[in-house]
Structure 1
């Protein structure tokens, strides 16, 4: 299908992205499509259109990253992800800054957030709270409790500030660094008025909205790329984290997540489920050991600092100076499975990175 000229290739991509043709990854998708996808993925688009371009990208990566890849291919993918950055998905209540592997940063408006929802197909989500605005909270309960207490009118009043014991008991006020894991069907949940990282098995919605307070609301006109990039640059990432297993304000189950010493600094294991989520802190002038995951691809977001990420195959890694990609705060990379990678801090401040590891088979369902 794509052994044609660039204009015909782009026309075919546009037909799929705008719904005129079905997205079919068996039609010869390969990495030569990345430059054509780049300008669209880095543009301000309606969510529906952007997610169709994202689906085409996933089909390209699914086809191209099967099995072991060369270091050259891995760096090509890493540099492509760095070039397009996170995908900006504008909603009425928040901006979702997403990577194709399921890592996202949500910038929620004050007193606004996700609908009250449950997963209808299996999806793991890990929420890592970065900042809490006044009035921000997390709400989690099981579906049986929801059915027993939910009334549309009283719930709407509660959302407007009325006190109601039926709902107050599931409302928890988090602090920066708190981690919440949703990995069972039937768990009703939301996050309101927070900035957070989300580590998820898929980057698109797969939910039953039980109460959608956002329905019919318009996207704020100031939601633009310049605005998002400015907001992302202001985020302060917490230095410590806690696992919150029970959101009941009366008896929350909270455990500190101990940091683990590694060469050059330390890592904080935020999740070890279907998703491996970690925060790395590499001291000034230091470097981590090289990492290798034979099964999972990695999405890496540079939260602070500057330096290099080594990206090398098993032959290249033997060199005195293995090949690498320069990074700075705000950059995001994708590392295919089976590739050696590590972090080198060339700044005077700590290099802080968030990582999600997940198999492509799960991420690109």
Structure 2
């Protein structure tokens, strides 16, 4: 299995696995089988959970018109892509012990899995936090014309994707080590970067957005504690808003999950050097499983949000998918506006 390796002393693939010792080979194959088992269940969980989130949001008019839920859908779509492409290719790669696609494709997938999805997730959650803080503290924002409100929300929900494509590909292209051409082979395509590029990627994709997430989460917690003590001035908009906001516990849970599940991967792929082969392989595989489990954990949290959960349970009921046979068809086909219009005419 080709590892993303910038500073570690080990790089395992079928091309050099025979040089790491019989005991290490046996350990490597054993832990690879265990990781593949978990990865299969993760891939299924990622696909199912994120499809449920996307389906619930886009079939519910009140959800798909709100900025926070468009951001949730944006994050869910990114996680779904990982479940459909990234994890299955990683499983195939682990089983085959060699790459089955072109090196360029393999490198792109490595970069998207390690840096791209992390940047999209952290920036998306940071924007959700900022949106929450604005409403929590009743900050004044420019009034949007209803005609352009939804397009603006859609554009904001795509900001994490735009930022990822603006930052990650240029850094990978300019920061690729010149010796990489001598390392790539039919069995191994590591992404070998110069130190400045590697540190810049880790900073912009993870640590800078993480700092913003920590600051905004602390602000949210402070406002929630103040409100719980009777100071309602901290949440005037939330108390009077017709559309319920996320409860702070969901915001906090999402931020904590991202911190705990994504941090191990960045530690392993940072300037950490492992002298012991077994420690390196275990740390790499465990950190990857932690990072991918984020793609299941977040959809579960989104589905537990009361507004989303209510819409999800409504769509799981049979009554949502069938029309009443007791009502005439012309009544069943009427829209809500038509009923209101008829009521106004009658009055």
- Band of TM-score, shorter chain: under 0.3
Q: Which has the higher strand share?
A: 1
Could you tell me the TM-score, scaled by structure 2's length? 0.23
Question: TM-score, structure 1 length as denominator?
Answer: 0.22
Structure with bigger gyration radius: 2
Q: Which has the higher contact order (CA 8 A, sep 6+)?
A: 2
